[in-house]
Amino acid sequence: MKNNYLFLLCLLLFSCSGKSQSKSQHNDLMKNDTSHISVQKYTLSNRNDSIKSMSIGTVSEGRLEHGKLVPYKGNNFKYFDSISYVNSRGYLNDDVLKTLLSTYESMENKSPNQIFTVMECSNKEGGKIYPHRTHQNGLSIDFMVPLVKDNQPYYGLDSLGGNHYLLGFDDNGCYLEDKNVIINFDLIALHILELNKNSKLNKLKISKVILKIELKDELFKSKYGEELKASGIYFAQKLSPIINELHDDHYHIDFEKI
């Protein structure tokens, strides 16, 4: 776990926790969460309209008009936390949502049987979304790092809700409380490349990726790392200690219109 400051910071926002889950338990969790009355009720009362989204201002000082709600789950993905979801933190510009969904569709073929997890996006109307510094205009998404254990996808930390932002990984991508749980850098690199490809089809591009600085070497050494490095996608080069530490359990992506 990270230090007490980060723990208290995020507890101001989240109050959920969870037990370790196997893959079958994770699938059960997906089913149970979507049947939860609060998620079901929120989804029904916040159906997406057909009006084009408008991202106004910047990711760090902006707002969103006609934002679209990310589906709580799909064939191979799930939103990470019901509390965050019903508190209006899962909205995107419609072009970013199209990019997200088409990428997960392509990942069904490229990485079958893998479950991906979307973390926080933007508020329905954008603006400040504590404690994030960005995520203000529907062009930002956090993605949970995929994990492996014993060469198999591992979902044992996926049910932590907001507390997932507090997990700690060493500079090689090993979970601090169980070094057998390791970040799947191959899958992260492939996912970012697919997002980049699909974003162009929606007149977008990736403007920035934020990942803990010390993890980038492992990412670029992965199977798709060389292609990712050659893609020209910009990765943050310098981060404050707090922001750097917060971006080991997830990777943040900002998009921009082209």
Number of structural domains (the chain) is: 1
Structure tokens at 18: 């969870």
**Torsion angle in degrees (nearest 10) through CA of 184, 102, 158, 73:** -160
User: Hey, which residues does 54 pair with through a beta bridge?
Assistant: 65
Decide: residue 35, CB within 10 A, 0-12 exposed, 13-18 middle, 19+ buried: exposed
CATH, residue 172: 3.30.1380
pLDDT bin (cut points 50, 70, 90) of residue 27 is: low
CB 59 within 8 A of CB 134: yes
Q: Note if the pTM is more than 0.85.
A: yes
CB 157 within 8 A of CB 147: yes
Percent of the chain with pLDDT over 70: 86
Structure tokens at 227: 């292609």
* pLDDT for the residue numbered 37: 84
Which structural domain range is residue 18 located in? 4-257
